[in-house]
Amino acid sequence: MTCTVERDVDEARGTHPTASLLTRVRDARRARHVADVEVAQATVAWVEAHPEQAVMGLADAAAYAWETPAFLHGDRPLDLGGPGSPLVTEAAVVEWAAALGMSTDAGRSFIGDVVELRHRLPRSWAALTRGLALGDDGGVRVVDAREVDHALPWSRARLVARRTMHLPAAGAAFVDAQLAGVGHRIGPTALDRLVTEALVRFDPEAAEEQALDAAETRHVTLDQTPAGHRMIDHTGVVCVDVMLDVTDVTDVTDAADLDAALSQVADELREAGSVDSLDVRRAAALGEIARRQLQGHLPRTTARPTTTRDMTVYVHLSEDAVRAAVEGTADRHQEPLARIESGPGSLSALGGGFTTLDVLARWITDSPARSTLTVRPVIDARVRRHSEAYEFPDRFREHVVLTEPTCVFPWCRRPSRRADLDHVLPHARGGPTATDNAAPLCRRHHRAKTHLGWAYHRALDTQGLATGWEWTTRHGQSYLVTAAGTTADNRTGTD
Protein backbone atom coordinates (compact mmCIF):
# COMPACT_ATOMS: atom_id res chain seq x y z
CA MET A 1 0.00 0.00 0.00
CA THR A 2 2.87 2.36 0.81
CA CYS A 3 4.42 1.87 -2.62
CA THR A 4 1.10 2.63 -4.29
CA VAL A 5 0.63 5.85 -2.35
CA GLU A 6 4.18 7.01 -3.12
CA ARG A 7 3.71 6.23 -6.81
CA ASP A 8 0.43 8.20 -6.88
CA VAL A 9 2.12 11.15 -5.22
CA ASP A 10 4.97 11.05 -7.75
CA GLU A 11 2.48 11.01 -10.62
CA ALA A 12 0.59 13.95 -9.12
CA ARG A 13 3.85 15.87 -8.91
CA GLY A 14 4.63 15.15 -12.57
CA THR A 15 7.62 12.88 -11.83
CA HIS A 16 6.23 9.81 -13.58
CA PRO A 17 9.03 7.99 -15.46
CA THR A 18 7.38 8.76 -18.80
CA ALA A 19 6.84 12.48 -18.10
CA SER A 20 10.12 13.27 -19.84
CA LEU A 21 8.62 11.97 -23.10
CA LEU A 22 6.07 14.78 -23.05
CA THR A 23 8.85 17.33 -22.68
CA ARG A 24 10.84 15.70 -25.46
CA VAL A 25 7.96 15.72 -27.92
CA ARG A 26 7.18 19.39 -27.17
CA ASP A 27 10.84 20.30 -27.67
CA ALA A 28 10.98 18.27 -30.89
CA ARG A 29 7.85 19.95 -32.25
CA ARG A 30 9.34 23.36 -31.51
CA ALA A 31 12.67 22.37 -33.08
CA ARG A 32 10.90 21.11 -36.18
CA HIS A 33 9.12 24.43 -36.61
CA VAL A 34 12.37 26.34 -36.16
CA ALA A 35 14.00 24.09 -38.77
CA ASP A 36 11.12 24.68 -41.19
CA VAL A 37 11.44 28.44 -40.79
CA GLU A 38 15.21 28.24 -41.19
CA VAL A 39 14.82 26.43 -44.51
CA ALA A 40 12.21 28.98 -45.62
CA GLN A 41 14.42 31.92 -44.62
CA ALA A 42 17.43 30.35 -46.36
CA THR A 43 15.24 29.98 -49.45
CA VAL A 44 14.43 33.69 -49.28
CA ALA A 45 18.16 34.48 -49.15
CA TRP A 46 18.82 32.11 -52.10
CA VAL A 47 16.11 33.75 -54.20
CA GLU A 48 17.42 37.22 -53.42
CA ALA A 49 20.91 36.10 -54.43
CA HIS A 50 19.64 34.88 -57.83
CA PRO A 51 17.28 37.54 -59.18
CA GLU A 52 16.12 37.65 -62.76
CA GLN A 53 18.86 40.16 -63.61
CA ALA A 54 21.42 37.42 -62.89
CA VAL A 55 20.37 35.54 -66.03
CA MET A 56 23.46 35.64 -68.23
CA GLY A 57 24.39 38.88 -66.48
CA LEU A 58 21.69 40.78 -68.34
CA ALA A 59 19.69 43.60 -66.78
CA ASP A 60 17.45 44.08 -69.80
CA ALA A 61 14.51 41.66 -69.65
CA ALA A 62 14.03 41.94 -73.41
CA ALA A 63 17.38 40.21 -73.93
CA TYR A 64 15.97 36.93 -72.65
CA ALA A 65 12.40 37.33 -73.85
CA TRP A 66 10.38 34.38 -75.10
CA GLU A 67 11.96 32.48 -78.03
CA THR A 68 15.20 34.44 -77.97
CA PRO A 69 18.45 32.37 -78.05
CA ALA A 70 19.18 33.33 -74.44
CA PHE A 71 15.78 32.06 -73.34
CA LEU A 72 15.81 28.83 -75.33
CA HIS A 73 19.44 27.81 -74.84
CA GLY A 74 20.47 29.24 -71.51
CA ASP A 75 19.33 30.16 -68.04
CA ARG A 76 16.04 32.03 -67.77
CA PRO A 77 13.89 33.74 -65.14
CA LEU A 78 10.91 31.91 -63.66
CA ASP A 79 7.77 33.44 -62.20
CA LEU A 80 7.04 31.22 -59.20
CA GLY A 81 4.90 33.35 -56.89
CA GLY A 82 1.76 35.36 -57.49
CA PRO A 83 1.57 38.60 -59.50
CA GLY A 84 4.14 41.11 -58.35
CA SER A 85 6.49 38.66 -56.63
CA PRO A 86 10.17 38.58 -57.68
CA LEU A 87 11.43 36.23 -60.38
CA VAL A 88 14.24 33.74 -59.80
CA THR A 89 16.60 32.07 -62.27
CA GLU A 90 15.88 28.54 -63.51
CA ALA A 91 19.38 27.34 -62.62
CA ALA A 92 18.90 28.52 -59.04
CA VAL A 93 15.61 26.61 -58.79
CA VAL A 94 17.12 23.34 -60.06
CA GLU A 95 20.10 23.61 -57.70
CA TRP A 96 18.02 24.53 -54.64
CA ALA A 97 15.49 21.76 -55.26
CA ALA A 98 18.27 19.18 -55.30
CA ALA A 99 19.72 20.59 -52.06
CA LEU A 100 16.26 20.30 -50.49
CA GLY A 101 16.11 16.63 -51.49
CA MET A 102 13.16 17.27 -53.82
CA SER A 103 12.36 16.79 -57.46
CA THR A 104 12.65 19.96 -59.53
CA ASP A 105 8.87 20.22 -59.72
CA ALA A 106 8.47 19.86 -55.94
CA GLY A 107 11.33 22.29 -55.31
CA ARG A 108 9.85 24.81 -57.71
CA SER A 109 6.53 24.58 -55.83
CA PHE A 110 8.34 24.95 -52.49
CA ILE A 111 10.23 28.06 -53.62
CA GLY A 112 7.04 29.52 -55.06
CA ASP A 113 5.26 29.06 -51.72
CA VAL A 114 8.10 30.79 -49.87
CA VAL A 115 8.15 33.69 -52.34
CA GLU A 116 4.37 34.03 -52.05
CA LEU A 117 4.50 34.12 -48.25
CA ARG A 118 7.46 36.48 -47.97
CA HIS A 119 6.38 39.03 -50.59
CA ARG A 120 2.58 38.86 -50.84
CA LEU A 121 1.38 37.55 -47.45
CA PRO A 122 3.28 39.62 -44.86
CA ARG A 123 0.86 38.88 -42.00
CA SER A 124 1.08 35.14 -42.60
CA TRP A 125 4.89 35.39 -42.80
CA ALA A 126 4.92 37.27 -39.50
CA ALA A 127 2.69 34.59 -37.95
CA LEU A 128 5.00 31.87 -39.28
CA THR A 129 8.12 33.53 -37.81
CA ARG A 130 6.55 34.49 -34.50
CA GLY A 131 9.05 34.39 -31.63
CA LEU A 132 12.02 34.10 -33.98
CA ALA A 133 14.77 36.44 -35.16
CA LEU A 134 15.72 36.03 -38.81
CA GLY A 135 19.17 36.72 -40.19
CA ASP A 136 19.88 37.97 -43.70
CA ASP A 137 22.00 34.87 -44.33
CA GLY A 138 19.08 32.53 -43.63
CA GLY A 139 19.93 31.91 -39.99
CA VAL A 140 17.16 31.71 -37.38
CA ARG A 141 17.39 32.39 -33.63
CA VAL A 142 14.72 31.69 -31.01
CA VAL A 143 13.78 34.85 -29.12
CA ASP A 144 10.68 33.72 -27.25
CA ALA A 145 10.03 29.97 -27.05
CA ARG A 146 6.44 30.42 -25.89
CA GLU A 147 5.68 32.65 -28.86
CA VAL A 148 7.14 29.98 -31.15
CA ASP A 149 4.58 27.51 -29.76
CA HIS A 150 1.78 29.78 -31.05
CA ALA A 151 3.29 30.42 -34.49
CA LEU A 152 1.55 29.53 -37.75
CA PRO A 153 2.65 25.98 -38.68
CA TRP A 154 4.68 25.66 -41.86
CA SER A 155 2.23 23.17 -43.40
CA ARG A 156 -0.67 25.58 -42.88
CA ALA A 157 1.37 28.52 -44.20
CA ARG A 158 2.13 26.60 -47.41
CA LEU A 159 -1.53 25.74 -47.81
CA VAL A 160 -2.45 29.42 -47.67
CA ALA A 161 0.32 30.31 -50.14
CA ARG A 162 -0.79 27.69 -52.67
CA ARG A 163 -4.39 28.88 -52.51
CA THR A 164 -3.59 32.58 -53.05
CA MET A 165 -1.04 32.17 -55.84
CA HIS A 166 -3.51 33.00 -58.64
CA LEU A 167 -5.07 36.02 -56.92
CA PRO A 168 -4.22 39.62 -57.79
CA ALA A 169 -2.19 41.52 -55.20
CA ALA A 170 -5.32 43.07 -53.68
CA GLY A 171 -6.98 39.67 -53.39
CA ALA A 172 -3.95 38.12 -51.70
CA ALA A 173 -3.80 41.06 -49.27
CA PHE A 174 -7.51 40.56 -48.50
CA VAL A 175 -7.02 36.89 -47.66
CA ASP A 176 -3.90 37.69 -45.64
CA ALA A 177 -5.79 40.27 -43.59
CA GLN A 178 -8.74 37.94 -42.99
CA LEU A 179 -6.43 35.18 -41.75
CA ALA A 180 -4.54 37.40 -39.31
CA GLY A 181 -4.67 35.65 -35.96
CA VAL A 182 -6.76 32.68 -37.17
CA GLY A 183 -4.62 31.20 -39.95
CA HIS A 184 -3.54 28.31 -37.73
CA ARG A 185 -7.16 27.26 -37.21
CA ILE A 186 -8.73 27.60 -40.65
CA GLY A 187 -9.40 24.42 -42.61
CA PRO A 188 -9.03 23.80 -46.38
CA THR A 189 -12.76 24.22 -47.10
CA ALA A 190 -13.07 27.52 -45.27
CA LEU A 191 -9.85 28.73 -46.88
CA ASP A 192 -11.11 27.85 -50.36
CA ARG A 193 -14.32 29.75 -49.65
CA LEU A 194 -12.32 32.81 -48.58
CA VAL A 195 -10.06 32.62 -51.64
CA THR A 196 -13.08 32.29 -53.93
CA GLU A 197 -14.60 35.39 -52.33
CA ALA A 198 -11.35 37.27 -52.91
CA LEU A 199 -11.28 36.21 -56.57
CA VAL A 200 -14.87 37.37 -57.17
CA ARG A 201 -14.27 40.63 -55.24
CA PHE A 202 -10.97 41.69 -56.77
CA ASP A 203 -10.85 39.95 -60.15
CA PRO A 204 -14.44 39.41 -61.35
CA GLU A 205 -13.29 39.00 -64.96
CA ALA A 206 -11.06 36.08 -64.00
CA ALA A 207 -13.86 34.56 -61.90
CA GLU A 208 -16.23 34.76 -64.87
CA GLU A 209 -13.60 33.32 -67.21
CA GLN A 210 -12.96 30.52 -64.73
CA ALA A 211 -16.66 29.68 -64.68
CA LEU A 212 -16.82 29.63 -68.49
CA ASP A 213 -13.67 27.53 -68.75
CA ALA A 214 -15.05 25.07 -66.20
CA ALA A 215 -18.22 24.64 -68.24
CA GLU A 216 -16.29 24.10 -71.48
CA THR A 217 -13.94 21.55 -69.93
CA ARG A 218 -16.64 19.25 -68.53
CA HIS A 219 -15.53 15.66 -69.12
CA VAL A 220 -15.66 12.10 -67.85
CA THR A 221 -12.26 10.49 -67.39
CA LEU A 222 -11.53 6.94 -66.28
CA ASP A 223 -8.42 7.48 -64.21
CA GLN A 224 -6.63 5.54 -61.48
CA THR A 225 -5.92 8.68 -59.51
CA PRO A 226 -8.94 9.87 -57.46
CA ALA A 227 -9.79 13.43 -58.37
CA GLY A 228 -11.40 14.15 -55.02
CA HIS A 229 -14.44 16.33 -54.40
CA ARG A 230 -14.83 20.02 -55.01
CA MET A 231 -16.85 22.45 -53.00
CA ILE A 232 -19.85 24.03 -54.71
CA ASP A 233 -18.74 27.46 -55.88
CA HIS A 234 -19.23 29.99 -58.65
CA THR A 235 -18.12 27.56 -61.39
CA GLY A 236 -21.29 25.46 -61.03
CA VAL A 237 -19.57 22.13 -61.79
CA VAL A 238 -18.65 19.13 -59.65
CA CYS A 239 -15.95 16.49 -60.12
CA VAL A 240 -17.07 12.84 -60.23
CA ASP A 241 -14.65 10.13 -59.15
CA VAL A 242 -15.17 6.66 -60.69
CA MET A 243 -13.69 3.41 -59.49
CA LEU A 244 -14.60 0.12 -61.24
CA ASP A 245 -13.92 -3.55 -60.56
CA VAL A 246 -11.21 -5.16 -62.69
CA THR A 247 -10.19 -8.01 -60.37
CA ASP A 248 -11.22 -10.82 -62.75
CA VAL A 249 -9.34 -10.46 -66.00
CA THR A 250 -11.93 -12.55 -67.89
CA ASP A 251 -14.59 -9.98 -67.01
CA VAL A 252 -12.67 -6.74 -67.51
CA THR A 253 -15.58 -5.04 -69.21
CA ASP A 254 -16.91 -2.39 -66.83
CA ALA A 255 -14.33 0.28 -67.63
CA ALA A 256 -14.02 -0.53 -71.34
CA ASP A 257 -17.78 -0.86 -71.88
CA LEU A 258 -18.56 2.38 -70.06
CA ASP A 259 -15.96 4.12 -72.20
CA ALA A 260 -17.53 2.66 -75.37
CA ALA A 261 -21.05 3.63 -74.26
CA LEU A 262 -19.99 7.21 -73.55
CA SER A 263 -18.41 7.49 -77.00
CA GLN A 264 -21.52 6.06 -78.68
CA VAL A 265 -23.94 8.44 -76.96
CA ALA A 266 -21.55 11.37 -77.50
CA ASP A 267 -21.66 10.61 -81.25
CA GLU A 268 -25.46 10.52 -81.08
CA LEU A 269 -25.49 13.97 -79.46
CA ARG A 270 -23.25 15.31 -82.21
CA GLU A 271 -25.53 13.87 -84.88
CA ALA A 272 -28.49 15.49 -83.09
CA GLY A 273 -26.85 18.89 -83.53
CA SER A 274 -24.58 19.37 -80.50
CA VAL A 275 -21.58 21.60 -81.25
CA ASP A 276 -19.87 21.02 -77.91
CA SER A 277 -16.41 19.48 -77.68
CA LEU A 278 -16.01 15.71 -77.39
CA ASP A 279 -15.21 15.95 -73.66
CA VAL A 280 -18.32 18.04 -72.97
CA ARG A 281 -20.47 15.64 -75.01
CA ARG A 282 -19.06 12.67 -73.10
CA ALA A 283 -19.96 14.42 -69.83
CA ALA A 284 -23.48 15.01 -71.13
CA ALA A 285 -23.61 11.38 -72.33
CA LEU A 286 -23.13 10.11 -68.79
CA GLY A 287 -26.23 11.98 -67.68
CA GLU A 288 -28.13 10.80 -70.76
CA ILE A 289 -27.27 7.17 -70.00
CA ALA A 290 -28.46 7.63 -66.43
CA ARG A 291 -31.75 9.17 -67.56
CA ARG A 292 -32.37 6.36 -70.06
CA GLN A 293 -31.80 3.80 -67.35
CA LEU A 294 -34.16 5.57 -64.95
CA GLN A 295 -36.80 5.71 -67.70
CA GLY A 296 -36.38 2.02 -68.43
CA HIS A 297 -35.12 2.51 -71.99
CA LEU A 298 -32.15 0.20 -71.55
CA PRO A 299 -32.93 -3.53 -71.57
CA ARG A 300 -32.17 -5.32 -68.34
CA THR A 301 -29.99 -8.36 -68.96
CA THR A 302 -27.42 -10.41 -67.15
CA ALA A 303 -25.44 -11.08 -70.31
CA ARG A 304 -22.29 -9.06 -70.78
CA PRO A 305 -21.71 -7.53 -74.22
CA THR A 306 -18.67 -8.64 -76.12
CA THR A 307 -16.06 -5.96 -76.68
CA THR A 308 -12.68 -5.92 -78.34
CA ARG A 309 -9.86 -5.19 -75.93
CA ASP A 310 -6.18 -4.92 -76.76
CA MET A 311 -3.44 -4.76 -74.17
CA THR A 312 0.34 -4.90 -74.20
CA VAL A 313 2.24 -5.75 -71.02
CA TYR A 314 5.95 -5.56 -70.34
CA VAL A 315 6.98 -8.27 -67.90
CA HIS A 316 9.93 -7.40 -65.66
CA LEU A 317 10.94 -10.82 -64.32
CA SER A 318 14.15 -12.74 -63.92
CA GLU A 319 14.93 -15.74 -66.09
CA ASP A 320 15.35 -17.95 -63.01
CA ALA A 321 11.88 -17.01 -61.74
CA VAL A 322 10.26 -17.89 -65.07
CA ARG A 323 12.08 -21.22 -65.23
CA ALA A 324 11.05 -22.09 -61.65
CA ALA A 325 7.42 -21.30 -62.45
CA VAL A 326 7.46 -23.44 -65.62
CA GLU A 327 9.13 -26.36 -63.86
CA GLY A 328 6.83 -26.08 -60.86
CA THR A 329 9.69 -25.57 -58.42
CA ALA A 330 8.76 -22.03 -57.30
CA ASP A 331 8.18 -21.56 -53.58
CA ARG A 332 4.44 -20.93 -53.22
CA HIS A 333 5.08 -18.88 -50.08
CA GLN A 334 7.50 -16.63 -51.96
CA GLU A 335 5.88 -16.53 -55.36
CA PRO A 336 7.85 -14.22 -57.67
CA LEU A 337 6.18 -11.05 -58.84
CA ALA A 338 6.07 -9.73 -62.38
CA ARG A 339 6.12 -5.95 -62.83
CA ILE A 340 3.57 -4.93 -65.45
CA GLU A 341 3.49 -1.86 -67.67
CA SER A 342 0.42 -1.31 -69.83
CA GLY A 343 1.43 -0.43 -73.33
CA PRO A 344 -0.72 0.95 -76.16
CA GLY A 345 -4.23 -0.47 -76.28
CA SER A 346 -7.77 0.08 -75.11
CA LEU A 347 -6.79 -0.72 -71.52
CA SER A 348 -3.67 1.43 -71.37
CA ALA A 349 -5.33 3.69 -68.78
CA LEU A 350 -5.13 0.83 -66.30
CA GLY A 351 -1.48 1.73 -65.83
CA GLY A 352 0.99 -0.69 -64.29
CA GLY A 353 1.79 -2.47 -61.10
CA PHE A 354 2.67 -5.93 -59.85
CA THR A 355 1.08 -9.33 -60.31
CA THR A 356 2.02 -12.95 -59.68
CA LEU A 357 3.07 -15.47 -62.30
CA ASP A 358 -0.14 -17.39 -61.63
CA VAL A 359 -2.29 -14.37 -62.47
CA LEU A 360 -0.16 -13.63 -65.52
CA ALA A 361 -0.68 -17.19 -66.75
CA ARG A 362 -4.46 -16.79 -66.41
CA TRP A 363 -4.28 -13.55 -68.39
CA ILE A 364 -2.61 -15.44 -71.22
CA THR A 365 -4.81 -18.57 -71.18
CA ASP A 366 -8.18 -17.13 -70.14
CA SER A 367 -8.36 -13.93 -72.21
CA PRO A 368 -11.87 -13.60 -73.66
CA ALA A 369 -12.60 -13.82 -77.36
CA ARG A 370 -11.74 -10.85 -79.55
CA SER A 371 -9.08 -9.76 -77.07
CA THR A 372 -5.40 -9.41 -77.81
CA LEU A 373 -2.80 -9.65 -75.04
CA THR A 374 0.77 -9.03 -76.12
CA VAL A 375 3.47 -9.97 -73.60
CA ARG A 376 6.92 -8.51 -74.12
CA PRO A 377 9.90 -9.60 -72.03
CA VAL A 378 12.51 -7.11 -70.90
CA ILE A 379 15.40 -6.75 -73.32
CA ASP A 380 18.59 -8.32 -71.97
CA ALA A 381 20.46 -5.33 -70.55
CA ARG A 382 23.75 -7.22 -70.68
CA VAL A 383 23.87 -6.98 -74.48
CA ARG A 384 25.48 -3.76 -75.72
CA ARG A 385 23.90 -2.20 -78.80
CA HIS A 386 25.78 0.25 -81.01
CA SER A 387 24.95 2.41 -84.02
CA GLU A 388 27.03 4.64 -86.28
CA ALA A 389 24.19 7.18 -86.56
CA TYR A 390 23.58 10.08 -84.19
CA GLU A 391 19.91 9.33 -83.46
CA PHE A 392 19.05 6.43 -81.19
CA PRO A 393 16.99 3.75 -83.01
CA ASP A 394 13.69 2.63 -81.48
CA ARG A 395 15.18 -0.67 -80.29
CA PHE A 396 17.86 1.28 -78.39
CA ARG A 397 15.21 3.45 -76.75
CA GLU A 398 13.25 0.35 -75.71
CA HIS A 399 16.41 -1.11 -74.19
CA VAL A 400 17.22 2.03 -72.18
CA VAL A 401 13.63 2.70 -71.09
CA LEU A 402 13.18 -0.81 -69.72
CA THR A 403 16.53 -0.59 -67.94
CA GLU A 404 15.94 2.90 -66.52
CA PRO A 405 12.19 3.36 -65.86
CA THR A 406 12.56 7.03 -64.82
CA CYS A 407 14.64 10.10 -65.59
CA VAL A 408 18.08 9.61 -63.99
CA PHE A 409 18.35 13.18 -62.63
CA PRO A 410 18.55 13.50 -58.82
CA TRP A 411 15.13 13.07 -57.16
CA CYS A 412 13.28 12.97 -60.50
CA ARG A 413 10.61 10.30 -61.01
CA ARG A 414 9.27 11.29 -64.43
CA PRO A 415 8.67 8.18 -66.60
CA SER A 416 11.47 7.49 -69.04
CA ARG A 417 9.01 6.65 -71.82
CA ARG A 418 8.27 10.36 -72.12
CA ALA A 419 11.88 11.48 -71.64
CA ASP A 420 14.64 12.43 -74.07
CA LEU A 421 17.38 9.89 -74.73
CA ASP A 422 20.67 11.63 -74.01
CA HIS A 423 24.25 10.84 -75.01
CA VAL A 424 25.97 10.71 -71.59
CA LEU A 425 29.27 11.57 -73.25
CA PRO A 426 28.19 14.06 -75.94
CA HIS A 427 28.35 12.78 -79.49
CA ALA A 428 30.35 15.85 -80.50
CA ARG A 429 33.08 14.80 -78.05
CA GLY A 430 33.28 11.24 -79.35
CA GLY A 431 30.44 9.73 -77.37
CA PRO A 432 29.05 6.71 -79.24
CA THR A 433 25.39 6.11 -80.05
CA ALA A 434 25.21 3.03 -77.87
CA THR A 435 23.02 1.70 -75.09
CA ASP A 436 25.85 2.02 -72.55
CA ASN A 437 26.22 5.73 -73.44
CA ALA A 438 22.51 6.54 -73.23
CA ALA A 439 20.34 7.76 -70.38
CA PRO A 440 16.74 9.00 -70.16
CA LEU A 441 16.43 12.66 -69.12
CA CYS A 442 13.14 14.52 -68.99
CA ARG A 443 13.17 17.71 -71.04
CA ARG A 444 13.73 20.00 -68.03
CA HIS A 445 16.72 18.04 -66.78
CA HIS A 446 18.07 17.60 -70.28
CA ARG A 447 18.21 21.42 -70.30
CA ALA A 448 19.95 21.39 -66.91
CA LYS A 449 22.64 19.10 -68.26
CA THR A 450 23.04 20.97 -71.56
CA HIS A 451 22.65 24.62 -70.51
CA LEU A 452 22.68 25.00 -66.71
CA GLY A 453 26.06 23.59 -65.74
CA TRP A 454 25.12 20.10 -64.53
CA ALA A 455 27.30 17.12 -65.50
CA TYR A 456 26.98 13.39 -64.95
CA HIS A 457 28.58 10.03 -65.65
CA ARG A 458 27.98 6.40 -64.83
CA ALA A 459 28.89 5.22 -61.34
CA LEU A 460 30.84 1.95 -61.40
CA ASP A 461 31.60 -0.57 -58.69
CA THR A 462 35.01 -2.18 -58.08
CA GLN A 463 34.32 -4.72 -60.83
CA GLY A 464 33.46 -2.05 -63.37
CA LEU A 465 29.73 -2.73 -63.35
CA ALA A 466 27.32 0.19 -63.58
CA THR A 467 25.58 0.93 -60.28
CA GLY A 468 23.98 4.31 -60.96
CA TRP A 469 24.71 7.89 -61.98
CA GLU A 470 26.99 10.49 -60.40
CA TRP A 471 25.90 14.11 -60.88
CA THR A 472 27.79 17.33 -60.20
CA THR A 473 26.19 20.77 -60.09
CA ARG A 474 27.76 24.03 -61.21
CA HIS A 475 28.24 24.86 -57.52
CA GLY A 476 30.23 21.64 -57.04
CA GLN A 477 27.59 19.68 -55.16
CA SER A 478 27.48 15.94 -55.86
CA TYR A 479 24.60 13.47 -55.98
CA LEU A 480 24.49 9.73 -56.56
CA VAL A 481 21.38 8.30 -58.23
CA THR A 482 20.81 4.55 -57.96
CA ALA A 483 17.85 2.19 -58.03
CA ALA A 484 17.46 2.90 -54.30
CA GLY A 485 17.05 6.65 -54.86
CA THR A 486 19.22 9.76 -54.60
CA THR A 487 22.01 10.33 -52.09
CA ALA A 488 23.70 13.69 -51.51
CA ASP A 489 27.46 13.65 -51.02
CA ASN A 490 28.06 16.21 -48.27
CA ARG A 491 31.83 15.87 -48.50
CA THR A 492 32.01 17.88 -51.71
CA GLY A 493 30.81 21.25 -52.86
CA THR A 494 31.57 24.90 -52.37
CA ASP A 495 29.61 27.80 -51.00
Domain ranges for the chain: 19-202, 214-307, 309-377, 386-489
Query: Dihedral, CA atoms, 50, 55, 60, 64, nearest 10 degrees?
Result: -140
DSSP labels, 273-290: T--S-HHHHHHHHHHHHH
- Dist CA 67 CA 284 (whole Å): 40
Query: 487: how many CB neighbours lie within 10 A of its CB?
Result: 14
Q: What is the DSSP string of 21-89?
A: HHHHHHHHHHHHHHHHHHHHHHHHHHHHHSBGGGGGG---GGGG-TTSHHHHHS--EE--SSTTPPPEE
Closest CA to 63 of 72, 51, 95: 72
Burial call 76-89: b when 16+ CB within 10 Å, e when fewer: bbbebbbeebbbbb
Do 440 and 422 form a contact (C-beta atoms < 8 A)? yes
What predicted TM-score, i.e. pTM, was given to this entire model? Answer: 0.71
Q: Which amino acid is at 347?
A: L
Catalogue the long-range contacts made by 427-433 (C-beta closer than 8 Å, 24 or more residues apart): 427/390, 432/386, 433/386, 433/387, 433/388, 433/389, 433/390, 433/391, 433/392, 433/396
Spatial separation of the C-alpha atoms in residues 393 and 423, rounded to whole Å: 13
Longest dimension (CA), the chain: 91
C-alpha span between 348 and 342 (Å, rounded): 5
d(CA 173, CA 122): 8
Q: Give the strands of the sheet with 337-342, arranged side by side.
A: 353-356, 337-342, 309-316, 371-377
C-alpha to C-alpha distance for 163 and 408, rounded to whole angstroms:
32
pLDDT given at position 208: 82
Q: Using the 8-state DSSP alphabet, how is residue 315 labeled?
A: E
Distance CA 330, CA 326 (A): 9
Single-letter amino acid, residue 349 = A
In 3-state terms, what secondary structure has residue 415?
strand
Please say whether the beta carbons of 70 and 64 come within 8 A: yes
How do beta strands 140-142 and 132-134 pair?
Answer: antiparallel
**C-alpha to C-alpha distance for 458 and 424, rounded to whole angstroms:** 8
pLDDT at position 183 is 82
pLDDT by 10s per residue, the chain, length 495: 445 545 554 555 556 778 889 889 999 999 999 999 999 999 999 999 888 776 644 444 444 444 444 445 578 889 999 999 999 999 999 999 999 999 999 999 999 999 999 999 999 999 999 999 988 777 888 899 889 989 999 999 999 999 999 999 999 999 999 998 888 888 888 898 999 899 889 888 888 887 777 666 666 655 444 444 444 444 446 677 776 654 444 444 677 788 888 999 999 998 988 888 998 898 888 888 887 877 765 554 444 444 455 556 666 666 676 667 666 666 655 556 666 665 554 444 445 566 666 666 666 666 555 566 666 666 666 677 777 777 888 888 888 888 888 999 999 999 898 899 999 988 888 888 888 889 999 999 999 999 899 999 999 888 888 889 999 999 999 999 998 899 987 555 444
